[in-house]
Amino acid sequence: MSNDTIAAVEQETTEAVSENRQALAEELRKISQEQDFSDAAKSRYAAEATKKASERHSEIVAEHESATAAALENNEKRVFKLSYPAANLTETQKEAFRSGYRDASFRCADLQADALERLLVRAQRTGDRAMEQAIYHESIERGLFGVANLYREKHPEAQAAWETYEQGRRKAGSNEALLGRALLSKVSPGSAPGSLG
């Protein structure tokens, strides 16, 4: 999943919210025009319809949050994915690389930013890909973006994964804010189906 997935989730959510609002507006219109209902009955039916639409809205929000979280988790996995030094390694060679990565991770876990930077430069000079990646991942987790940027300068695939990750986080954050402002309680029988009455 990528940011295209987040965009698709956003589109589906927008459509579902709009359909829900339209259905509520239509139901409220029918209730208000029913001549056989007393004002008390109209109020009761309108409250029931609004409650049902509100429950559906909560379901839509939960579905949106779940799908967005899955897409963001996938983006994060891309950022932290190990990049093996050669394409056609045996499983034994891959395990040896992962073992080297784990060792490198433990070695750089508590180092200060300047020490991590020096170690990254040395790993780049010597071609120690496991150490490079361990330092990169450690710097991301600790928010040492200067060190992380040094790694990304030499690794365009890491830069692309990071940009996708950042864009996805920003997009998801803005979507959550917009979704939270979709106030179903403001739909009234006379309002246009897609508007906040």
Q: What is the pLDDT of residues 130-168, one digit of tens each?
A: 999 999 999 999 999 999 999 999 999 999 999 999 988
**Strand ranges in the chain using DSSP code E only, listed in sequence order:** none
| Overall domain count for the chain | 2
**Minimal CA–CA distance to 97: which of 138, 135, 134?**
134
Q: Are residues 96 and 149 in the same domain?
A: yes
Q: Are residues 54 and 104 in the same domain?
A: no
Let me know: does 135 contact 104? Beta carbons within 8 Å.
yes
Q: Write down the H helix ranges in 109-155.
A: 113-126, 129-142, 145-154
Helix (H, G, I), strand (E, B) or coil at 11: helix
With 0-12 CB in 10 A as exposed, 13-18 as middle and 19+ as buried, what is 70? middle
Q: Are residues 65 and 118 in the same domain?
A: no
pLDDT at 6: 83
DSSP string, 174-192: HHHHHHHT--GGG--TTS-
Q: Are residues 94 and 35 in the same domain?
A: no
Q: Are residues 17 and 65 in the same domain?
A: yes
Q: Which domain holds residue 135?
A: 85-154
Q: At what angle do helices 91-108 and 129-142 cross, to 10 degrees?
A: 50
Q: Are residues 107 and 50 in the same domain?
A: no
Q: Are residues 73 and 94 in the same domain?
A: no
CA distance 9 to 107: 40
Q: Is the residue at 162 inside a domain?
A: no
Let me know: does 196 contact 183? Beta carbons within 8 Å.
yes
Q: Which two tokens stand for residue 38?
A: 């007393």
pLDDT at 176: 66
Q: Are residues 146 and 178 in the same domain?
A: no
The ranges of the chain with pLDDT < 70 are 1-2, 175-197
CA distance 197 to 188: 6
Q: How many angstroms from the chain centroid is the CA of residue 79? A: 14
Q: Is the residue at 165 inside a domain?
A: no
Q: Are residues 176 and 141 in the same domain?
A: no
CA distance 75 to 163: 10
pLDDT at 8: 87
Q: Are residues 23 and 68 in the same domain?
A: yes
Q: Is the residue at 159 inside a domain?
A: no
Q: Is the residue at 70 inside a domain?
A: yes
Distances in whole angstroms, Cα of residue 120 to Cα of each of 12, 30, 141, 191: 43, 68, 16, 61
Q: Is the residue at 163 inside a domain?
A: no
CA distance 100 to 133: 10
Q: Is the residue at 142 inside a domain?
A: yes
Q: Are residues 44 and 95 in the same domain?
A: no
Q: Are residues 95 and 135 in the same domain?
A: yes
pLDDT at 1: 44
Residue identified by tokens 């979709």 is 182
